[in-house]
């Protein structure tokens, strides 16, 4: 149950963004840029990073929405997303993506948890500086988005079909 009055009973972050439309628009534009703007990372990889940080932060709404978006963007591979959420070390992803997800996990802990060895592991696995930059920024932004959603008690549905619908819409329409 939301901790503040919402202008409409819309689930997740969308309901919260309506409280202050000007800042809500900026947060949506940031998500659009991070997850749909130019990047060496695919939309699916970026959504997977967002969902991985969200699962580590125990933010059910963002885990469900961005996990479904990742799956849709990765050709409907929900099993892959679930495997990453369970254990990134054994998930069936390439070493570059695994290293970037591990880097995102360090960012989720805190910026100072990221070490030169974490970055070097990503480079050794084939990540370039822009991929490393984008991973860290997505992970940092989702730490903020997760805290916003949970800190204000966003409406968090239980029905997995709703997350599938939200994820499909995010892939098709983006964040604006």
Tokens of 144: 């903020």
| Cα Dmax for the chain | 49
Q: What is the pLDDT of residue 139?
A: 98
Q: What is the pLDDT of residue 53?
A: 98
What pLDDT, in 10s, does the model give residues 117-153? Answer: 999 999 999 999 999 999 999 999 999 999 999 999 9
Rounded Cα gap, residues 76 and 19, in angstroms: 33
Rounded Cα gap, residues 113 and 67, in angstroms: 24
Distance of CA 127 to the CA centre of its chain: 19
Q: Other CB atoms closer than 10 Å to residue 64's CB: what's the count?
A: 25
From 152, 167, 175, select the one nearest 51 (Cα to Cα). Answer: 167
Q: What is the pLDDT of residue 77?
A: 94
Rounded Cα gap, residues 98 and 126, in angstroms: 11
CATH architecture for the domain at 12-35+43-173: Up-down Bundle (1.20)
Tell me the pLDDT band of 69, cut-offs 50, 70 and 90: very high
Domain boundaries, the chain: 12-35+43-173
What pLDDT, in 10s, does the model give residues 79-90? Answer: 999 999 999 999
Q: What is the pLDDT of residue 114?
A: 98
What pLDDT, in 10s, does the model give residues 15-48? Answer: 999 999 999 999 999 999 999 999 999 999 999 9
Indicate whether 100 pLDDT > 90: yes
Q: What is the pLDDT of residue 1?
A: 86
Residue partners of 21: CB distance under 8 A and separation at least 6: none
């Amino acid at each position: 149950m939301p901790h503040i009055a919402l202008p409409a009973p819309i689930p997740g972050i969308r309901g919260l963004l309506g409280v202050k439309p000007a800042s809500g628009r900026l947060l949506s534009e940031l998500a659009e840029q991070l997850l749909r703007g130019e990047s060496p990372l695919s939309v699916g990889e970026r959504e997977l990073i967002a969902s991985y940080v969200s699962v580590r932060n125990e933010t059910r709404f963002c885990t469900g929405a961005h996990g479904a978006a990742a799956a849709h963007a990765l050709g409907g591979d929900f099993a892959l997303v679930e495997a990453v959420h369970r254990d990134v070390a054994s998930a069936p992803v390439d070493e570059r993506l695994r290293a970037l997800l591990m880097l995102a996990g360090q960012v989720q802990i805190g910026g100072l948890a990221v070490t030169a060895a974490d970055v070097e592991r990503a480079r050794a696995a084939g990540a370039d500086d822009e991929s490393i930059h984008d991973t860290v920024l997505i992970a940092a932004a989702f730490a903020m988005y997760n805290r916003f959603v949970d800190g204000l008690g966003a409406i968090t549905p239980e029905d997995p079909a709703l997350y599938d619908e939200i994820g499909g819409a995010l892939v098709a329409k983006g964040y604006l």
